[in-house]
Structure 1
């Protein structure tokens, strides 16, 4: 395990979590391309990306002692939300406390669009609870509230090419993970001017799932359709997976959040942070996989 004493001084200022995953990996690579030194906080150092100016340090969100050691000297922290688990808020809370104890000054946290204590999407409530704990920690913060990822839309379809869920004719304003990464890098490069800010990150368009299915069909050649379900049908159709109740609630409320209008609205924040328009679903599907 790498200790803070073994790291060059210029690596200590910026810590990045999630670098072995999609979003965190994009952020780490972009920072390296810009010449920013960074500490990559990872569970397995063998999986850490090899990047110029990047040094891995081992910790997990739930291991407070290891996290505090890995964060020693870090002043600005990019915190990607943990994988979906029943105790995710507890993991986040432990990590935020470790960050505050280690002397981190500013946390940039990837939250969720519409995060609120009474949000329809159950996981948005978890993000709100994490935001509130960060606010209470005494550290400076910036929250990136991401709409649903465009990257995951094609994966909603089953093997038969049908997206099923109780979204009705509701609309959402999905955002490409690539745009979220660019926004995160913009904040991390100059965090002081984003102190206390909450950004809503959306794509450039509002779509129903039926419209999204049509665009995926046109762009990929795979026939994708949307079949509305009632809430009761949604729970019944997912019962065979054997998932725990909290997970099924999250799956179903992904769609009911769209139906309720809570994922609608187009924000100017991607352009405001990056100077570029966000990527549309059609543009995303035409791009090479990063």
Structure 2
């Protein structure tokens, strides 16, 4: 049996929807943290378990009779995130899970200014040390979040990314790739895939695309990390999250960290390239 974590999240829902289209509801179970938010999943005839990643008993009960785990990285502050992900791997080891597919990140470099990269790096390390076979999906930044740069501003956005490029990929493409892996897990044992779009863009180019998409002028201005953190705090984000997001954009401008890299992995497995940001925006 397959267990998919993060069933109430956007990537989880995208994956579940694609599996449901194949009428595979009886072949997987969905894990959520809040059963009250899972009514749509239940209505679609999905099997749902409520699992608390901070509770050993809850984890062991939730992982009972699970052979394959699709483990979507958790949200939250860095220390809590790292502990929860460690808890999941340790419980999976105790409960005899055979294979784990983990949604990692394109940037897991030790010198990355993006603090959350460390959580992914540690989780990958723990997974490789666990003895469980694994598949690592190192996803680039989501194309799905790009339109927010225009929608949540007056058309002018400032980021500390300078001229750095990103090969954005959509959640839909990531989910499609995950379905392929989950249907034939033996073919993907102990493999690492970098999932990127088919073209990399600077945020100046992103602004041009958004201008076309929304038929209004959208402009990008490179800024400092301090200004960006202050900007996020003004809209209510806690300092820790604001600092993490600033660090991510600082990392984008560092070419060696991989955000601009266009990986061949998606096309090798799927037989076609992932959509570029322009194609995903349907411009």
TM-score, with normalisation over the residues of structure 2? 0.91
Residue in structure 2 matching 1:30, options 12, 18, 21 = 18
State the secondary structure of the residue aligned to 1:56. Answer: strand
Hey, what does 1:5 align to over in structure 2?
Answer: none
State the secondary structure of the residue aligned to 1:145. Answer: strand
Q: Indicate the larger mover: 110-119 or 168-177.
A: 110-119
Hey, what does 1:63 align to over in structure 2?
Answer: 55
Hey, what does 2:261 align to over in structure 1?
Answer: 265
Hey, what does 1:217 align to over in structure 2?
Answer: 211
What's the RMSD between the two structures over aligned residues? 1.9
1:77 aligns with 2:65: no
In the comparison of the two structures, how many residue pairs are matched? Answer: 275
How far did residue 183 of structure 1 move? 0.8
State how far apart, in whole Å, the 2-side matches of 1:116 and 1:102 are: 31
Q: Is the 8 A contact 1:216 1:282 kept in 2?
A: no
1:252 aligns with 2:242: no
Hey, what does 1:9 align to over in structure 2?
Answer: none
How far did residue 250 of structure 1 move? 0.8
Correspondences of 1:197-236 after superposition (within 5 Å): 197-236=191-230
1:191 aligns with 2:179: no
State the secondary structure of the residue aligned to 2:147. Answer: helix
State how far apart, in whole Å, the 2-side matches of 1:33 and 1:98 are: 31
Hey, what does 2:163 align to over in structure 1?
Answer: 169
State how far apart, in whole Å, the 2-side matches of 1:106 and 1:78 are: 9
How far did residue 197 of structure 1 move? 0.7
Hey, what does 2:100 align to over in structure 1?
Answer: 107
State how far apart, in whole Å, the 2-side matches of 1:120 and 1:71 are: 34
State how far apart, in whole Å, the 2-side matches of 1:107 and 1:114 are: 20
- Give CA-to-partner distance per residue, 1:218-260, whole Å, 9 cap, x none: 0222432111102343344344356444322211112111111
* Structure 2: runs of 5+ lacking an equivalent: none
- Give CA-to-partner distance per residue, 1:151-193, whole Å, 9 cap, x none: 0112234421222111111111111111100111111111111
State how far apart, in whole Å, the 2-side matches of 1:104 and 1:282 are: 40
Q: Is the 8 A contact 1:120 1:253 kept in 2?
A: yes
Hey, what does 1:127 align to over in structure 2?
Answer: 120
State how far apart, in whole Å, the 2-side matches of 1:138 and 1:240 are: 46
Q: Is the 8 A contact 1:175 1:278 kept in 2?
A: yes
- Give CA-to-partner distance per residue, 1:25-71, whole Å, 9 cap, x none: 11112122223310111123343313767311111222221111111
State how far apart, in whole Å, the 2-side matches of 1:269 and 1:51 are: 35
Residue in structure 1 matching 2:135, options 142, 147, 152 = 142
Residue in structure 1 matching 2:35, options 29, 45, 55 = 45
State how far apart, in whole Å, the 2-side matches of 1:156 and 1:63 are: 37
Q: Is the 8 A contact 1:235 1:248 kept in 2?
A: yes
- Give CA-to-partner distance per residue, 1:126-163, whole Å, 9 cap, x none: 11111111111111111100110010112234421222
Q: Is the 8 A contact 2:42 2:48 kept in 1?
A: no
State the secondary structure of the residue aligned to 1:122. Answer: coil
How far did residue 18 of structure 1 move? 1.4
